[in-house]
Structure 1
Amino acid sequence: MEPTPTPPGQQLDAAHRRRRWLMFLFWGVIFGTAAIGNVLTNRIDADRYHVPVTTWHIVINEVSSPLVSLLLLPFLLMACDRWPLHTDTWRRYVPYYVAGSVVWCVLHIAGMDLLRLLGYTLGGDRYDPGNLLLQFVYEYLKDVRTFFFIVTLSHAVEWFGRQMKGEASLLAEPDEGVPVEPVDRPERFLVRKLGRDFLVATADIEWAQASGNYVNLRVRGRDYPLRSTLAALEAKLDPAVFVRAHRSYVVQLAQVTSIEPLDAGEARLHMADGTVLPCSRRYREALRAVAAGAEPAVVRA
């Protein structure tokens, strides 16, 4: 069976992935320079105050902590994607991050002690972490600051990225008077980008893709994230124009140029701009049925 091609921007779009890699590299530099700086300053202090400690002891002690933090970093960045902090979500998600800071500290201490135990053993010495409760309190007072600095910076970078990209929303229903357009069948979406508001016609949306807590609206080659579920958006779109093709995609029929069947009942949708999107077996027949009464541009398999 020929596999369904991976659609563009699956779950995380390219810009988001680039920002995440840059965040990882940024913290890699921060943790790495901190480790090197701590090794040098501890070596200097040991020589200055005649403390009998070998350099390899200092290296193990100072490198183990940032190394474990760097290994835990991808999971924290994924948590930031899973629980984004917005004005309407932060009260619900902040307790998750508080609990996550405790988990981070416990994993950090466990990983750090294991690395030190291994390093000391290989060096022919014995590592004693001391009182574990006191160690947790001491490390947590440091870890909680690092943890929330990472969380804050991660969300700040994503906020700036959304401002650069533009974030869509439904036109709000006025407090008084009749709405400008039907709220249940919006003709336009409001896109806010770099402090300016733009109106995007619903008819210009080529497809919509579920992406975490957002739905990306594809309009003329650009994606505009809308804070919504795909099911909620689908309920507001005209079913004669927009059809579900996959659990992660709703497409505008007029933008589909052909439906290419695959094995096991799946299909590929060839879009007008050359993009290929997946069509699952569950939605293929329904899409074909609606397409039968659509514009002639749709080629049925």
Structure 2
Amino acid sequence: MIGWAVILVVAAAVCLLNVVGFTQHGRGRLGEQLIYEGSSWLSIALLAWLPWTILRATRGGPWWAQGLSHLGAALVFSAAHVGLFILFRLVLFAAVSQPYDPWATLGAFPFEAGKDVIAYGLCVGAYLFAGLLAAPRPAADDAPAALFDIRDGSRLVRVELADVLAISAAGNYVEFHLRDGRRPLMRSALSALEQELGPAGFVRTHRSWLVNAAAVTGLVPEGSGDFQIELGEGAAPLSRRYPDALSRLGGRGRR
């Protein structure tokens, strides 16, 4: 619909410019030129579906097949355009009792065909441009998932960060608590992972725990300012010594 509207507006502007140019240079009276250009505009409006149809029918095909299809369609477009505006002019000039010679127009068909091929190409361009405008922008949910590589011994486990519920210290190792229940280990300091994963939403809630804030489903007070963090079917501690973590995870009002 946007492409069709663009075609009509641009074609109307071109026709009006032709009317002004022809009348100023003495190549016809205003009413006569309005019939000439108006009949051409109306014909284009009625035929604008053709380039859109060919675009849809050939989408995804080889470039040469698309080119041949559009070339054939452009010739059909031109013949139909000339035939329609001749018919409209016959009717309109007869209505105002003015003579009109359709054979003169047919004699100039090669010239008209050249203009129509260009007009057809512009119609295709208008539809392609409108398609770019109407194309949905990728939503945040369509963005590639953030991945993290866990080196579990000699094995590498690649996971989405969204599937890491929490990370806990285990001596010289850290244990990843994954959404599917797996618990891979990696030799690392928890503080190093805090620096690396902090920008991705992981919060230090205890000297031995990092929690994925996006995975938190609830906070349960345990007295003395400590909380238990609910992570679906799992859980992690929230120490009162980490008040910033409590604020980031929703404060005391979260359950």
Taking structure 1 as the reference length, the TM-score comes to 0.43
**Rg larger in structure:** 2
Taking structure 2 as the reference length, the TM-score comes to 0.50
Higher relative CO (Cα under 8 Å, sequence separation at least 6) belongs to: 1
